[in-house]
Amino acid sequence: MKKIVFVLLFISGVLTTVSAQVKVGLASYYHNKWHGRRTTSGERYHKDSLTCAHKTYPFGTRLRVTCFTTGKTVTVRVNDRGPHRKTRIIDLSYAAARQIGMIHLGITKVRVEKLN
């Protein structure tokens, strides 16, 4: 009986860890007025860089973002904190948003996967 409980706890822990690496929610992107301003990490935001803001992942973490509407994917690097709206899970740079085809959408449902 102890072995079964241990195995079930181990499996549930593994599943929790895997699911913590993938999140689904709404994404938005930076307005051009932020171009050149400092991010929370200290570097300057550049609209043509493939970066993003995320609430919890450490700076430098690489994330794969997939747009549900277009099916396109982009890899971005976390360099800022945000988004500051509870309903959103990530803010993308203008270049990243353009690459996945969400510029005309404004806000869209995405899948975010941690890569490193």
* Annotated domain spans of the chain: 23-114
pTM, entire model: 0.81
Q: How far apart are CA 26 and CA 96, in angstroms?
A: 15
**Is the pLDDT higher at 15 or at 87?**
87
CATH number of 23-114: 2.40.40.10
pLDDT band at 19 (very low <50, low <70, confident <90, very high): low
For 26-71, the pLDDT digits (tens) are: 999 998 888 989 999 999 999 999 999 999 999 999 999 999 999 9
